Amino acid sequence: CDAIGIICISGMSMMFDKEKLEEIGGIKSFDKFLAEDYALSHALIHRGYKIKVVPSPAIQDPCHFSAKFFIERMIRWTRLRFSIHFVLTLLEPLFQPLFFSLSSSWSLNYLTQFPFIFLFIIFMTGEFIIDQILMNLLRMTFPESGPLPNLKNRIQAFFLMQIFIYPYIYIMSLLNITKISWHNISYTISRNSIISIPDDLEYKKDSVRMTRFKRFKELQAPAQ
């Protein structure tokens, strides 16, 4: 982003200057957006401000982990991306390791007559190695996260994700593209992540906000 001037919006990991937010109406002006962090960033960029990327990644606290939680979260995010950048999200599978490896292997097989399966294994292995390099870099940055699982489990997880889980996430996102469930609230989402919420859910929205605030305070409290 910084080097070549590409607009890079990283969503919930961003920090905003309060005075700059007031120039665009404050956070309240963006409460109709489910992806309010993206909308805020987009508005600031159009006012001539630039995004500065810090060298270290942000740590998120999802509170709990499970395969079901991860899949539901990824479906929600994919539907959100469809509402913001439909064409780009529609083309997203083209850049996933499985499709990329299949298409690249077919192309090289056609041009060089190398065996397709040999080329496919090389491409998928390369994708796996790149993935492992990234995971090791993150572990070195945050050693408190503990050691990585053993190699066998990482290989199984990688291929399970690429062959089964990602296609499932993508298909499920398309089947009900305008509905997003988050914190037990069902939203109807339209273009640019604009949402409609029934009036009788206003109290529930406030309850969710308070729950998130309490969780934040718990994380900030010193250990006893």
Same domain, 88 and 117: yes
Domain boundary among 60, 81, 104: 60
Q: Does residue 222 lie within any of the structural domains?
A: no
pLDDT exceeds 50 at position 213? no
Residue 195, token pair as written in the block:
């949402």
Question: DSSP label at 57?
Answer: P
Same domain, 194 and 145: yes
Same domain, 117 and 159: yes
Question: DSSP label at 30?
Answer: G
Task: Please report where in the chains the tokens 């995010």 appear, as a residue.
Answer: 77
The pTM score is: 0.75
Question: DSSP label at 66?
Answer: -
Domain boundary among 11, 27, 60: 60
Same domain, 78 and 175: yes
Q: Which amino acid is at 34?
A: L
Q: Does residue 216 lie within any of the structural domains?
A: no
> Exposed, middle or buried by CB within 10 Å (0-12, 13-18, 19+), for 195?
buried
Q: In angstroms, rounded to a whole number, what is the distance separating the alpha carbons of residues 52 and 49? A: 10
- Find out whether 116 and 109 touch, Cβ atoms under 8 Å: yes
Q: Does residue 163 lie within any of the structural domains?
A: yes
- Find out whether 182 and 35 touch, Cβ atoms under 8 Å: no
Q: Does residue 214 lie within any of the structural domains?
A: no
Percent of residues, the chain, with pLDDT higher than 90: 29
Number of domains in the chain: 2
Weakest-pLDDT range from 67-76, 115-124, 170-179, 206-215: 206-215
- Find out whether 43 and 138 touch, Cβ atoms under 8 Å: no
Range of the domain at 109: 66-203
Same domain, 78 and 134: yes
* Tens digits of residue pLDDT in 32-69: 787 777 788 888 888 888 777 776 666 666 666 788 88
Average pLDDT score over the chain: 79
> Exposed, middle or buried by CB within 10 Å (0-12, 13-18, 19+), for 143?
exposed
